[in-house]
Amino acid sequence: EAGIPGDGTKIVQQAPVKDVSSPKKEKKATADRSDEPATETEMQGNDSNELPDSPDDVRESIKQKFLVEMPDDFYDFWDFCSSLSKKDPSGALHDLLGLKLVGPFDVLAGKLTNKSVKTPDDFLRHWRYFYDPPEMQTVLSADDETMFHIGYFRDDPGEMPVFLASNIASEGCKITKVAGNLFAVLSKEISKALQNCKEAQKKAKLRKLNGALVEFSEAKGYSLQEASKKRPKPQTAAWHGAGMVVPCDSKLETGYRNMPLSNAEMKRFLAEFSDDDYSENRRLNSKLQEVIARVHIANDECDFGMGLEFCLALFCSGHTSLHQTIAMMGSLAYELLDREPFARILTAHLRRRLKTPNVSVLG
């Protein structure tokens, strides 16, 4: 069994991060210092039935429902799909590419309204796949058993996404960067489809779609080769592989330190947990509490990134038996990083975390 080193190694951002503010030195992790997992009641929380009136402005309406803003390419992509199919923009790409526009797009389609949900948290759970962390918001979905989907990925809920990424939920937590905007994503999907297509008629339709894409994207000023928006260098790849960025202060040497266990050690340790044998989990709990104690020490010293990395590791392990701990430690990490909307998204997701392809709250 892997031991825990004496001190977590400190990591300081090698280059100054201009776009990310330094952590507030005076902020301490004094709240919720219990090292015990959250109780079922704490986990469930207040899933309030009160739905506020939707703003008339569609951008504000989406932000109210999903707690994050959508970038311009999101709305322009909807217009592009509307030009392909006025009756059903959401399904405009389905016949050729097997993709449908989902998530926040359902607000634009008039499908996702206050009348179609029971609680505000339903919006946050809408089209959120099993391994989607709060940083990822699904907007394209393939209707197959692999649960392949594409979504915006952002480091901070108050900032725009840094890229679009894909995940195959049936295979695990790995998140793969795809492109910097939806038009570049579609360009890649068309290229893949053309390579695999053997039907002349379908090839002709794909080329026609590609022509329309090039014309529309050029008119709107979108690059089909854009890989990513400007992003500070991640402190760690995180378990999902998409990277994790937190505010760091190179002068104060605060913001992030390595986990007390390496990724390999953490994976071996978490692999021992069971979602069925809780007696076995109790045996492992003492070691888990050691790591939690180290996270609290890091929080007290303003290295809030360690707590987030720990939370993401537990989340990516896929063990539902760890949901209570994920909810407690994740909420604390996001609060300390001033990313409270992500905490709310996380807890809403954990209350209804599905391993099935049907992750729409619309049924």
Residues with catalytic roles? 301
CB 321 within 8 A of CB 282: no
Q: How far is CA 284 from the centre of its chain?
A: 28
Start-to-end C-alpha separation, the chain? 44
Residues 6 or more apart from 198 whose CB is under 8 A from it?
Answer: none
The region that residue 306 occupies, defined by phi over 0 for left and psi between -120 and 50 for alpha, beta otherwise, is: alpha
Look up residue 112 and give its two tokens: 């996702």
